[in-house]
């Protein structure tokens, strides 16, 4: 079973976790270069679609991919490039997140503080998936699946 199928299989549990939401948001934080690689790998997965909005010209938090789960629910993957100059915008994105994953230790203090303000805590990608690398779409899909599972269980 592919990661996408596994995620879709979690629909009932996601609904149980947050019955009112129309978006289940996974925020992935990392250095801009790794986030760019992650975004490309994400869009290589067949079930992921690019978001309607354009990628911003500045390294601010933005949507990288979405996946319709059915039942009027979409899975959104947001990227949060860890560029300290844009830290004031992080809490705005983190506050909408159902789960936050960090793929490296860039700007870790600022991210921790933004998470604290938003009442979230960032999970390490290597904790969720020890073999994770951002250039392998299968592992990216597996990471998103693991993150969703971590959020709802």
Partner 1 sequence: MNELRALLVTAQPEVERVFSAVLESTNDTLFVAQEMSAAVLAAGAEQPALVFIDLTLPAATGLALVHHVLATHPKASIVALATQQGLVTAAEAISLGATGLLLLPPDGDAVLRAIGEVRARRNAEESIARLTLERGALFDQAEAMTRAVSVARGGNDREIAEALVALFVLASGARGAAFFGAESSTGTRQRLAAFGSGYELRDTYPDAELGQVASARSAQLHVFGPVSRPLGCALIERATATASDRTASAVAFAAALLMISARAAASIPPAPESQVVPEEQFARVLERTIEDGKPGLLVAMVPTPNGRVDLAKLPLKDEGALCGQRPDGSAWIVLPGRAPSDVPPLLLSIGTRGVGVAAFPSDGQRAAKLLSLAEARAREAARSPFYDLTNPGVSVGALAQALLRSASLESRVSSLFPLELSMTSLESLLAHTARITQRASRATPLSITVASADADHLAKATNAAFDAERSKVRVSNVASLPECEGVEAIVVSSPLASWALVGRWDKERLRAVHTCDPSTCAALAARILAAIGPGK
For partner 1, the binding residues (CB under 8 A) are 53, 56-58, 60-62, 84-93, 95-96, 109-110, 113-114, 117
How far apart (Å, rounded) are the C-alpha atoms in residues 27 and 102?
8
Residue 135 CA neighbour count, 13 Å, CB half = 2
Q: Smaller CB distance to partner 1: residue 11 or 89?
A: 89
Q: Which of 54, 115, 125 is nearest to 87 (CA)?
A: 115
How far apart (Å, rounded) are the C-alpha atoms in residues 28 and 82?
10
Strand locations in 15-131 (E):
23-30, 62-70, 73-81, 99-102, 122-124
Q: Smaller CB distance to partner 1: residue 33 or 116?
A: 116
Residue 93 CB, shortest distance to partner 1, in Å, is: 5
Q: Smaller CB distance to partner 1: residue 9 or 88?
A: 88
Q: Smaller CB distance to partner 1: residue 59 or 141?
A: 59
Residue 26 CB, shortest distance to partner 1, in Å, is: 14
Q: Strand pairing partners for 24?
A: 75
Residue 5 CB, shortest distance to partner 1, in Å, is: 28
Cβ-count burial of 96 within 10 angstroms (0-12 exposed, 13-18 middle, 19+ buried)?
A: middle
DSSP 8-state code for residue 19 = T
Residue 117 CB, shortest distance to partner 1, in Å, is: 6
Q: Smaller CB distance to partner 1: residue 33 or 92?
A: 92
Residue 121 CB, shortest distance to partner 1, in Å, is: 15
């Amino acid at each position: 079973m592919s990661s996408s199928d596994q995620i879709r299989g979690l629909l009932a549990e996601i609904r149980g976790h947050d019955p009112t939401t129309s978006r289940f948001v996974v925020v992935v934080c990392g250095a801009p270069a790794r986030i760019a690689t992650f975004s490309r790998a994400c869009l290589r997965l067949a079930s992921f679609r690019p978001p309607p909005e354009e990628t911003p010209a500045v390294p601010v938090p933005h949507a990288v991919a979405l996946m319709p789960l059915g039942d009027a629910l979409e899975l959104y993957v947001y990227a949060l490039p860890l560029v300290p100059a844009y830290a004031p915008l992080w809490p705005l994105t983190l506050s909408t997140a159902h789960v936050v994953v960090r793929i490296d230790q860039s700007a870790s203090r600022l991210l921790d503080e933004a998470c604290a303000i938003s009442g979230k805590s960032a999970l390490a990608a290597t904790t969720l998936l020890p073999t994770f690398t951002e250039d392998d779409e299968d592992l990216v899909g597996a990471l998103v699946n693991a993150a969703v599972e971590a959020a709802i269980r």
